[in-house]
Structure 1
């Protein structure tokens, strides 16, 4: 095989391919990964054939190479998974930061627009929508009718909508 004899390589392949697949089956049930690993071992063997120096037996060498190749592929996959997880985490954190920034900006704009509402309209809107008082309570507190409260709230919504559209 060192001299490039393909028939010797093919014989080696036929002899050990299935045995190596069975051996790797004890480490993983992923049949495609097993086949890819064993094929990689034989490809490397062919490419390194001229400088290959087997100390003990070729069989031991092939089993050790198959095991190491499989473990290397799992380590590489684990690094890729960790890297993807890191990218995902970074993207999520950026999205949260951006979302928080947008939310803070909108709240600031809304507060500014509420401050621009006319006196009584602002007072009715704040008591009703921000403090959460019922319309009847707001009417009683401000000594106005419920219809007037509803009118101020309707007016406040219209003014806020215009204000927010012009500031965005």
Structure 2
């Protein structure tokens, strides 16, 4: 059985007290673990990335109660498994989604999750809207539509190297915007952006 390490205990206590700076450390340390576990279960890179996002959004939403966790890897493992299984149920039984995901008593957390997801999306859209024209086009095609650099270059009639430069500049600008205007939610958004490099 995993023995809770001092650093894990410290992360959880600090985060439960509202110290958002440790969230990035926790995310950097554990998101490969969550991703690889989700990938093994789903055999799908996009779904595994969505699961990672859901796991860490829930960690953030429930941060005040994290100090009570005694085995962080087991907690993450269980949450990942539940989210994957719930996702499978959702695809198979759309009408029972609410009952499967949010049994009685969890309405508050489900509402917080949905609210946070909307805030993250709105913040990211504001960051993208602040990009210069060509950077914005490259970013939207690459990050939001999933096109490869070659396809973006062809669509915009520019070189692959130019696409790469625009993308690097856009990612840097988006992160700067999130850091400057997002507060704690910006920190969460920056961490989640790492999933979609």
TM-score, scaled relative to structure 2: 0.39
Larger radius of gyration: 1
TM-score, scaled relative to structure 1: 0.45
